[in-house]
Chains A and B, each alone.
Chain A
Amino acid sequence: MAKRTDDGGEKLDVLQGTLDLMVLQALDSLGPQHGYGIARRIEQISDDILKLNEGTVYQSLMRLQHRRWISATWGTSEKNRRAKFYAITAAGRRQLAREVDTWDRLANVIARLRSAEPV
């Protein structure tokens, strides 16, 4: 579903599985991070294309924890606020590699479909 925004462009809804992948990718590139930081990273990278209720990041984090793909520890954030820091685990890295591979292959297929000559 797409919603019209003030600037007239369209923002994309984020699918659950995709969000999980993005969170994993963010943790992989940034190292241990709290939920706010992850939300900022996704916002920054996606160049405001994605529409994200930041609360859903926490659902994603919980899902990933259940699968033991990330771990969490309490720490202190900027301005001395207590925050939970999440870090990707070895299993999480393997999963990330698998998912990225899937994405790449899927993107490849779609690209080839689009470039194919109509018969």
Chain B
Amino acid sequence: MWTRLRATLSRLSFVLARRRLDDDTRREIETHLDLLSDRYVRQGLSPDQAWLAARRQFGSITVVREELHAMNGVTWFEQSVGDLRDAGRQLRRSPGFVAIAAIILSLGIGGATTVFSAVQAVLLAPLPYDEPGQLVRLYQLRPDRPDSRDVLTGAHFAFVREQATSFEDVAALAHYSETGLDLVADGRAERLRVLAVSSGYFQTLRAALPLGREFERDDEAGARRVVLSDRVWRTRFSADPAIVGRTVRLSGETYEVAGITAPGFADPFAPDVAAWIPYALARDTYEENNSLTAIGRLRHGVTLERALAELATLEPAMRERWPRAEKSLVTAVPLHEELVSDARGPLHLVLAAVAIVLLIACVNVANLALVRATGRMHEFAVRASLGSSRSRLARQLLIEHLLLAGTGGLVGLAVAAAGIRVLKDLGRQALPRIDDVGLNGSVLAFAVVATAATAAVFGVLPVLRLAGASPVDALRQQSRSATGGRGLARLRAALAAAQVALALTLLAGAGVLVASFHRLQQVDLGIRADRVSTFAVHLPTVRYDAARRAAFQEALAGELRAIQGVTAAGGISRLPVTGSCHPWNTHIRSGPLAGTPVDRRRGAMQQRVVSGDPLAALGVPLLAGRRFDATDDAAAPPRAMVSANFALAAFPGLPYDAVVGQRIAVAGREQTIVGVVGDVALDVYGAPTMVVYHAHRQVAANRNWALTQAVAADRPLDDLLVAVRDVVRRLDPELVVHRPAPMADVVGRGASQERFTLVLLGAFALVSLVLAIVGLYGVLTYTVSQRTTEIGIRMALGATAAQVRRLVLGQAAIVVGLGVAAGLGGALLLGRWLSALAFEVAPSDPRILGATAALLAAIALVASWLPARRAARIEPRIAMQDAR
């Protein structure tokens, strides 16, 4: 091996010195001949005779020189360069074929590359932290109920932090509600997304701060310290290192700058967090307040299994210490899995779809290449009979195909660059880590591999066909009809059927998603989303105490309602249909179930704080009792409104009217029910949830509630917004109207993953449909041109145009029929994957499969009609002349 390598390297140096060596050879041979003829002269021959004798003894000078020349070359390399040149020439000769093939291939390769870029960045790339495999997320659950998985309480988190030895570090993140603080520096205000974290947060993520130090245990008493992101530090403090240790003003309060993050550091759950403050863990002692996202870093050598086993041993101690907390078991899952698992299903599905498109593109181009190769049968036969080896011919075809695929790949990269932009836009709400998607090294490598694989797939049939053809046969039957042959026609028809099958598979998949999305929009969410606008106003705690906040929210609701065209308005701690928030424990204190807790499964029970009347704005009806009014203030005994399903579950057998006046306790606070309202869904899938509503004025002291305002008005958002800004400015000129959005968009965001999958799958299905139809059309047109003579004879013998049409359509029917049958099988296979993503639609629903098959058949019929008509218009006389 080594010797061979050395010989090759040494040979390469001879290649470089080749011209000089050729010269040397010439002079060496001259000397040799001179010396040889000198000897013959000495032996008595005449100079001429001596020269001839010397030439005879030497052998052929030309042969020697050529062989020496060849020895100094690397033959296969030179032949390949030659082949490449030939291939370029061949392809230039048929620009139409090249253009069509390149476009088809670029759609396949570009699409595949686009989707792969997302798969790579979202699913495959490791988390951007040191040794990411060691990171886990912690959950808390009832030991007997795996479905009760919940986030952690401060108490349980602190216990695990003290007791568990499996972890190098653990940290708690108060993610459950979004916090924002207004940073005011140099007279400019900017709202920062702020995350409250325990000490050890940066240590757990191994994100050491280049400047300053992270929070200590002491800070968990609620210290006013802040770690700023590198971006904020650079843009707002001109990267001044002296800022560490100084104070900044956040929403009117002073915070000491504890440190600056490393450039590019981002929170794993909320990448847009720009500032971190200590979480007041010391004050979070209520054992049923599950509100903390907890992460941990496993010690070296500790497996997840061992950590889980250790956590299980802590369960009895925690149960003993907090007997009321039923979720007494803490468990861990890999952080990477936790972050990307939701995206896996949609991305894998889209990947499968794009693989199908790529396959159809390959089959399509293979079909084109077959026709082209058949046209060149004669050329290849001549070359084979002139001594070209089969492998040499096959290699030349292969190089042609590689060149063609390479062209497609290059265009495909341009397609991918555009596709990635669309995908990032589409996936912003639907996928985690979408910002990292881009044309990086591994994506480019994928494109190259996809291109090569494409060339192999579409190139293999033509190569087999050409290289396998016997030159004698090909030369003998060089007429057009002979070069085609029935075998080829059958092969092409099979390829067309395969395309139809693949396209149907994809179309059926898209059909399921369309039906599913349609269903999703029909779901009764319990609210009216149209003509409702939403926005938020945040009140700085320093200027607004509890009483001021309560007064401001009611004043705002009143002013909003006074805007012309507004029918109802009010604030709510979290809009309905946008997921779970504040699932506080609720106990029943009166009625038949008095003394029992309400269903504690995750999402089953929600709490909402309201100001004004957001329920009226959202179209949630009042079923009994009354809505909150001015009498429900801080001085009054605590009151609540409940949803109808809560009333039924907590007070079974009682009519709504009788539920009014009943008593419940939420997080230990006893309150009286004053009204029963309609049910609202937890999310866009219509998941039912029970809701208890609290009047903001009664709970304003609990915390600075971030209320989202809902305004029902028959005016468009932009128009309404002008009036809203006026109102807010009148109330307090320093406040900002945040994130205005129509309620329909807010709801739509919940279905963003469905939309992402639907749009991509739909686009790919469309492309595959077009390709398959083009493929079918091509095959039929080709067959008609092949059978022109035959058809001519039939017509001469009395066949009618209708009969000829039927002939062609019959062939189309066979191709489409086979394709549809196989495609239905494929759709059922794909359906197993789809069922996890489909909403209330069975992927095997015969109506969807039937409709897509019918659609495909109808389009195929249209595509077949043109060749059929052309066949029917064949002039027998001309056709038979052609044949001669």
Are A59 and B67 CB-contacts (below 8 A) given A35-B32, A84-B24?
Answer: yes
Q: How distant is A31 from chain B, measured CB to nearest CB, in Å?
A: 18
Q: Tell me which residues from 2 to 38 in chain B have a Cβ below 8 Å from any Cβ of chain A.
A: 6-7, 10-11, 14, 24-25, 27-29, 31-32, 34-36, 38
Which residues of A are found within 8 Å of B29, using beta-carbon distances?
55, 58
Q: Are B10's CB and A36's CB within 8 A?
A: no
Determine whether A67 belongs to the interface, using a CB cutoff of 8 Å to chain B. Answer: yes
Which residues of A are found within 8 Å of B631, using beta-carbon distances?
none
Which residues of B are found within 8 Å of A34, using beta-carbon distances?
28, 31-32
As a 0/1 sequence over residues 45 to 72 of chain A, the CB contacts with chain B under 8 angstroms (1 = contact) are 0000000011110110011011110000
Are A55 and B60 CB-contacts (below 8 A) given A67-B7, A68-B10?
Answer: yes
Q: Are A62's CB and B31's CB within 8 A?
A: no
Which residues of A are found within 8 Å of B829, using beta-carbon distances?
none
Which residues of A are found within 8 Å of B27, using beta-carbon distances?
82
Select B59's contact among A36, A54, A62, A67, beta carbons within 8 Å: A54
Select A35's contact among B28, B57, B72, beta carbons within 8 Å: B28
As a 0/1 sequence over residues 32 to 50 of chain B, the CB contacts with chain A under 8 angstroms (1 = contact) are 1011101000000000000
Q: How distant is B601 from chain A, measured CB to nearest CB, in Å?
A: 80
Q: Are B31's CB and A36's CB within 8 A?
A: yes
Report the Cα distance A4→B58, complex, angstroms: 19
Q: Are A62's CB and B28's CB within 8 A?
A: no
Which residues of A are found within 8 Å of B60, using beta-carbon distances?
53, 55
Are A54 and B57 CB-contacts (below 8 A) given A59-B64, A59-B68?
Answer: yes
Q: How distant is A83 from chain B, measured CB to nearest CB, in Å?
A: 5
Determine whether A108 belongs to the interface, using a CB cutoff of 8 Å to chain B. Answer: no
As a 0/1 sequence over residues 66 to 88 of chain B, the CB contacts with chain A under 8 angstroms (1 = contact) are 01100110000000000000000
Which residues of A are found within 8 Å of B57, using beta-carbon distances?
53-54
Determine whether A79 belongs to the interface, using a CB cutoff of 8 Å to chain B. Answer: yes
Q: Considering only CB atoms, which chain A residue lies closest to B13 in the complex?
A: A66
Which residues of A are found within 8 Å of B38, using beta-carbon distances?
79
Select A53's contact among B10, B25, B59, B71, beta carbons within 8 Å: B59
Report the Cα distance A63→B71, complex, angstroms: 8
Report the Cα distance A55→B56, complex, angstroms: 10
Which residues of A are found within 8 Å of B25, using beta-carbon distances?
58
Interface residues on chain B, number (Cβ under 8 Å):
27
Q: Are A54's CB and B31's CB within 8 A?
A: no
Determine whether A81 belongs to the interface, using a CB cutoff of 8 Å to chain B. Answer: yes
Report the Cα distance A77→B35, complex, angstroms: 10
Determine whether A39 belongs to the interface, using a CB cutoff of 8 Å to chain B. Answer: yes
Most chain B beta carbons < 10 A, residue from A34, A35, A36, A82: A36
Report the Cα distance A63→B64, complex, angstroms: 13
Q: How distant is B23 from chain A, measured CB to nearest CB, in Å?
A: 11
Report the Cα distance A66→B7, complex, angstroms: 6
Q: Are B58's CB and A62's CB within 8 A?
A: no
Q: Are B31's CB and A56's CB within 8 A?
A: no
Which residues of B are found within 8 Å of A35, using beta-carbon distances?
28, 32
Are A83 and B10 CB-contacts (below 8 A) given A55-B60, A56-B59?
Answer: no
Which residues of B are found within 8 Å of A58, using beta-carbon distances?
25, 28-29, 64, 68
Q: How distant is B631 from chain A, measured CB to nearest CB, in Å?
A: 105
Select A62's contact among B32, B35, B63, B68, beta carbons within 8 Å: B68
Q: Are A66's CB and B11's CB within 8 A?
A: yes
Q: How distant is A75 from chain B, measured CB to nearest CB, in Å?
A: 11
Report the Cα distance A95→B281, complex, angstroms: 81
Q: Are A56's CB and B24's CB within 8 A?
A: no
Report the Cα distance A58→B61, complex, angstroms: 11
Which residues of A are found within 8 Å of B59, using beta-carbon distances?
53-56
Which residues of B are found within 8 Å of A84, using beta-carbon distances?
24, 28
As a 0/1 sequence over residues 2 to 42 of chain A, the CB contacts with chain B under 8 angstroms (1 = contact) are 00000000000000000000000000000000111001000
Q: Are A83's CB and B14's CB within 8 A?
A: no
Q: Considering only CB atoms, which chain A residue lies closest to B56 in the complex?
A: A53
Which residues of A are found within 8 Å of B24, using beta-carbon distances?
84
Q: Are B36's CB and A36's CB within 8 A?
A: yes
Q: Considering only CB atoms, which chain B residue lies closest to A65 in the complex?
A: B14
Q: How distant is A105 from chain B, measured CB to nearest CB, in Å?
A: 22
Q: How distant is A54 from chain B, measured CB to nearest CB, in Å?
A: 5
Report the Cα distance A111→B36, complex, angstroms: 38
Most chain A beta carbons < 10 A, residue from B7, B24, B64: B64
Q: How distant is A43 from chain B, measured CB to nearest CB, in Å?
A: 9
Report the Cα distance A79→B41, complex, angstroms: 15
Which residues of A are found within 8 Å of B6, using beta-carbon distances?
68
Report the Cα distance A79→B10, complex, angstroms: 34
Q: Are A55's CB and B7's CB within 8 A?
A: no
Q: Are B31's CB and A55's CB within 8 A?
A: no
Q: How distant is B765 from chain A, measured CB to nearest CB, in Å?
A: 59
Q: Are A59's CB and B71's CB within 8 A?
A: yes
Select A66's contact among B10, B31, B67, beta carbons within 8 Å: B10
Which residues of A are found within 8 Å of B34, using beta-carbon distances?
81
Q: How distant is A5 from chain B, measured CB to nearest CB, in Å?
A: 13
As a 0/1 sequence over residues 245 to 275 of chain B, the CB contacts with chain A under 8 angstroms (1 = contact) are 0000000000000000000000000000000
Report the Cα distance A35→B33, complex, angstroms: 11
As a 0/1 sequence over residues 778 to 795 of chain B, the CB contacts with chain A under 8 angstroms (1 = contact) are 000000000000000000
Q: Considering only CB atoms, which chain B residue lies closest to A63 in the complex?
A: B71
Report the Cα distance A53→B36, complex, angstroms: 13
Which residues of A are found within 8 Å of B31, using beta-carbon distances?
34, 36, 77, 81-83
Which residues of A are found within 8 Å of B11, using beta-carbon distances?
66
Which residues of A are found within 8 Å of B61, using beta-carbon distances?
55
Q: How distant is A52 from chain B, measured CB to nearest CB, in Å?
A: 8
Q: Are B64's CB and A55's CB within 8 A?
A: yes
Which residues of B are found within 8 Å of A68, using beta-carbon distances?
6, 10
Q: How distant is B195 from chain A, measured CB to nearest CB, in Å?
A: 68
Q: Considering only CB atoms, which chain B residue lies closest to A58 in the complex?
A: B64
Which residues of A are found within 8 Å of B63, using beta-carbon distances?
55
Q: How distant is B66 from chain A, measured CB to nearest CB, in Å?
A: 11
Q: How distant is B440 from chain A, measured CB to nearest CB, in Å?
A: 43
Q: Considering only CB atoms, which chain A residue lies closest to B59 in the complex?
A: A53
Report the Cα distance A54→B54, complex, angstroms: 9
Report the Cα distance A65→B63, complex, angstroms: 19
Are A36 and B35 CB-contacts (below 8 A) given A53-B59, A62-B71?
Answer: yes
Q: Are B35's CB and A81's CB within 8 A?
A: yes
Q: How distant is A21 from chain B, measured CB to nearest CB, in Å?
A: 18
Report the Cα distance A79→B36, complex, angstroms: 13
Select A56's contact among B10, B14, B64, beta carbons within 8 Å: B64
Q: How distant is B690 from chain A, measured CB to nearest CB, in Å?
A: 87
Q: Tell me which residues from 77 to 119 in chain A have a Cβ below 8 Å from any Cβ of chain B.
A: 77-79, 81-84
Report the Cα distance A82→B35, complex, angstroms: 11
Q: Are A36's CB and B68's CB within 8 A?
A: no
Q: Are A66's CB and B28's CB within 8 A?
A: no
Q: How distant is B3 from chain A, measured CB to nearest CB, in Å?
A: 8
Q: How distant is B263 from chain A, measured CB to nearest CB, in Å?
A: 54
Q: Are B58's CB and A53's CB within 8 A?
A: yes
Report the Cα distance A100→B806, complex, angstroms: 82
Which residues of B are found within 8 Å of A62, using beta-carbon distances?
68, 71-72
Q: Are B71's CB and A54's CB within 8 A?
A: no
A-B complex: 9 closest residue pairs judged by Cβ atoms: A53-B59, A55-B64, A55-B59, A36-B35, A36-B32, A54-B58, A81-B31, A83-B31, A55-B58
Identify 9 residue pairs between A and B in the complex whose beta-carbon atoms are under 8 Å apart, listed by A's number: A35-B32, A54-B32, A54-B58, A55-B63, A59-B64, A66-B10, A67-B10, A81-B35, A83-B31
Since A54-B36, A62-B72, A81-B34 are in contact, a sample of 6 more A-B pairs with Cβ atoms closer than 8 Å, ordered by chain A residue number, is A34-B28, A36-B31, A53-B59, A53-B60, A55-B61, A55-B63
